[in-house]
Every structure is written in C-alpha cells, then in structure tokens.
Amino acid sequence: MGMIGGGKDAFIGAIHRLAFNMDGLVEMVCGALSINPQVAKESGESLFLASDRIYMNYEEMIEKESLMPEDKRIDFVTIVTPNFAHFAPAKLALQKGFNVVIEKPITFTLEEAKELKQIVEETGLMLCLTHTYAGYPMVKQAKAMVKDGALGKIRKVWVEYPQGWLSKLSEREGNQQAAWRTDPKRSGKSGCMGDIGTHAAHLAEYISGLKITHLCADLNIFVEGRALDDDGNVLLKFDNGAAGVLMASQVAAGEENALKIRIYGEKGGIEWAQMEPNTLLVKWLEAPAQVLRAGGNYSDRLSSFATSNCRTPGGHPEGYLEAFANIYRNFATTLMAKMDATEPSKEALDFPSVDEGVRGMAFIDNVVLSSQSDQKWTEYKV
C-alpha cells in the first residue's frame, strides 16, 4: 500500500497507519506524504520506507508504482490529504488500476463524488471510505438488531455530535487542523457539517437502514471571523416516515468527540455513544433495559456481524483505532479474496464505499441548501 498525504504532524495519516498496522494484513511500502519535498522525505524515512519509494507527489507515485511488476507494486493507495485534494489522486489511482482507500468526505464537491462513482463502476476496482464509526462492533450490533426487526418499525432517530475544539478562532492562532477545516477553499461548502455532520448522517442511515428524504437545517457560525459553519441543528425525515434530529457542533465548549445516536422503534430503542463504544444500551417498552457489551458472554444475543469485528474478550475495551482497523481489515480481506478469486465472508464485505461517499457529499449540498432556504423542508437530492 502507498499513502498520499499524511506526512509527519498530519493527524489523520498517523491514525490510518496505526489502524492498518494492527492486524498485520496491510504493509505500507511507499508514499507521497507531503507536497513539501523536505517533509515528504523526512516522513518517509521515519516510516522506514525504501528511499526509492518515497515519492515527491502522488502523480509520480502512481506512475512509478504502476510500472512495477505486479507482485511488487502496491495493491491500493490511501488518500489522507485535505478534502480539496481527494479527487485528483483518487481518480488517477483508479485509472491506473489501483484500489483506493479515502478519507471522508470523499471529495470536494458532489460532482466529483459522482464522477468517482462512475470510474469505480467502470474499472470494477474497490473504493473504501473510512467512515470510522461504522467500524465499531456495537454499531454493527445495533444495525443488525434494527434489521432483524427487534425494535419494530423505526419512528425516531436522534443523532448528535458535539465537539468543543473550535470554540475559539483557533484557525488564526496557528492550529493547522483548524486552519484547513474552516477554510472553504480546502474544506468545501461546509465546516462542521462537512467534517462531522457527515459522520452523524452516515451513522443514522447505516444503523437505521433508512434514507433521509427531507431536511430542515439551521447552520450557524458562532465564532466571529470564521468562514464556515461551526454548528448546526437539522430536522430530518426518513423514507419510512420516521422523524429525526441531527445536531453537530464544534463550539460545544468542553465536549470532546461525543458522537451519540438513539433510535426508537415501536418496541424499544437503542443508544450508543462513541466515547463508551463497547456498550449498546437497549431499552424495551415493556421490559428492563439491557446492557449489551462487545465480547459479552451471550453469543446468542450478539450478531456475528458484531462479534466478527471484535478482537478481545469482554471487558478488554477496544476503541477508535480498532474501529478504524476494522474498516481496513474488512476492506483488505475483501480485496485479498477478490485477488484470490475466493468468496469473502459476508461480514468481511462490510465497509463504507463510494455510494456512501456520494451520499455524504449530497448531505453537505442539501444541508447547506436548506440552511439558506426560508422553506421548512428541503428535499434530499443526490
């Protein structure tokens, strides 16, 4: 595998490396780690890359790797650049025959996302979008329970994602993460909604199995001088008639990364919070609530969809990196099966793909459109 972006001091690139290292299925052998040649070189060396596979830019990397013998060259690239620089390397990689792992949001614009989808379909290659939170075992358990009808028909979806780290104008105080994420030229149409609202929207659709059809958005910029929304509350309608609320904020002072979802059906509800990810609280209309735990000693109640994404026995907490690693593991297992022309297991197949990427970009478009509209409901168009 080769990485595009993710030089030293980059946050998400380091996270990707921790995640794909864990299971020993993926080896990083090359990289175009920075547009700054010095950084690219130093970063590559510190990661023990062979010096001839430390590339100065992604074009060079994709070109040279594509010329290597099949058993030597990389199988896929991972793209961890800022949003505006996702599309071009992804497109080139696919065109040159490489599979792609890409950070969310998939592209800078919805149009680019649709174009990628077309290329993926034409090439038959795989694209994996790292919606990390979908990698948690108890998220998968929740999805399985909804799908199996345990909660009855779904009526309500509440998803919230408060963070506090942009409570000040940090983008002007030397915070590089803040700088690009609040910059329309690098981040896109939306700040908070693009960065974390998309995670919340994906999680809501992923677990519920429903699709948002209409939304009503109130996006806000609370920190004076900021160029993009740092907060937003959105009413939702789903395709089965369920109602929802999506709340995301980066100015919820004192909050860390408190993604949480609650879904209620006719018979009960589920509650899952990312900061205590190994617990799924299941509430029942007419019975005591149950505390389902990753690795719990009741295999009849835990879906294999969940347990196949656990590494440790109950009570040995797995966290964000393991969830991230699950995305990679499921992608890599599927890729290896495909390369071996064998049938990957159903569970292994589960990772977010280009369709989720398109849908995420549509979410951003729709939520921004709605926020600018006087009408209550905006149809969710893709």
For residues 215-234, which are near a second copy according to CB under 8 A? Answer: 216, 218, 220, 222, 231, 233
By CB under 8 A, residue 307 contacts a second copy: no
Rounded CA separation 264/267 (Å): 8
Minimum distance from residue 18 beta carbon to a second copy (Å):
6
Amino acid at 106: I
Q: Which residue in 227, 275, 345, 381 binds a second copy (CB under 8 A)?
A: 275
Q: Which residue in 95, 257, 307, 308 binds a second copy (CB under 8 A)?
A: 257
Amino acid at 283: K
How many alpha carbons lie under 13 Å from residue 248 in its C-beta half-sphere?
23
By CB under 8 A, residue 321 contacts a second copy: yes
The answer to whether 192 touches 229, Cβ cutoff 8 Å, is yes
Size of the site for a second copy (CB under 8 A): 90
Taking the alpha carbons of 184, 187, 188, 191 in that order, is the dihedral positive or negative? negative
Sheet with 99-102, side-by-side order of all strands: 30-32, 2-4, 76-79, 99-102, 127-129
Q: Which residue in 78, 81, 107, 163 binds a second copy (CB under 8 A)?
A: 163
* Element containing residue 244 per DSSP (H, E): strand 243-249
By CB under 8 A, residue 274 contacts a second copy: yes
Minimum distance from residue 142 beta carbon to a second copy (Å):
14
Minimum distance from residue 22 beta carbon to a second copy (Å):
5
Minimum distance from residue 376 beta carbon to a second copy (Å):
5
Residue (24 or 225) nearer to a second copy, CB? 24
Three-state DSSP state, 366: helix
By CB under 8 A, residue 149 contacts a second copy: no
* Closest by CA position to 138, among listed 259, 240, 256, 252: 259
By CB under 8 A, residue 303 contacts a second copy: no
Minimum distance from residue 200 beta carbon to a second copy (Å):
13
The answer to whether 232 touches 249, Cβ cutoff 8 Å, is yes
Minimum distance from residue 41 beta carbon to a second copy (Å):
18
Q: Which of residues 35-74 bind a second copy (CB under 8 A)?
A: 47-48
Minimum distance from residue 168 beta carbon to a second copy (Å):
8
Q: Which residue in 69, 174, 225, 288 binds a second copy (CB under 8 A)?
A: 288
By CB under 8 A, residue 118 contacts a second copy: no
The answer to whether 156 touches 238, Cβ cutoff 8 Å, is no
Rounded CA separation 190/228 (Å): 6
Phi first, then psi: what are they for 76, rounded to 5°? -155, 160
By CB under 8 A, residue 286 contacts a second copy: yes
Q: Which residue in 9, 211, 319, 345 binds a second copy (CB under 8 A)?
A: 319
Q: Which residue in 169, 258, 337, 382 binds a second copy (CB under 8 A)?
A: 258
Residue (124 or 254) nearer to a second copy, CB? 254
Minimum distance from residue 358 beta carbon to a second copy (Å):
26
The answer to whether 192 touches 231, Cβ cutoff 8 Å, is yes
- 278-to-159, 176, 271, 294, 320 alpha-carbon distances in Å: 18, 32, 12, 5, 10
The answer to whether 334 touches 107, Cβ cutoff 8 Å, is no
Q: Which residue in 297, 346, 379, 381 binds a second copy (CB under 8 A)?
A: 297
By CB under 8 A, residue 244 contacts a second copy: yes
* Closest by CA position to 41, among listed 30, 54, 52, 60: 54
Residue (52 or 286) nearer to a second copy, CB? 286
By CB under 8 A, residue 339 contacts a second copy: no
By CB under 8 A, residue 301 contacts a second copy: yes
By CB under 8 A, residue 15 contacts a second copy: yes
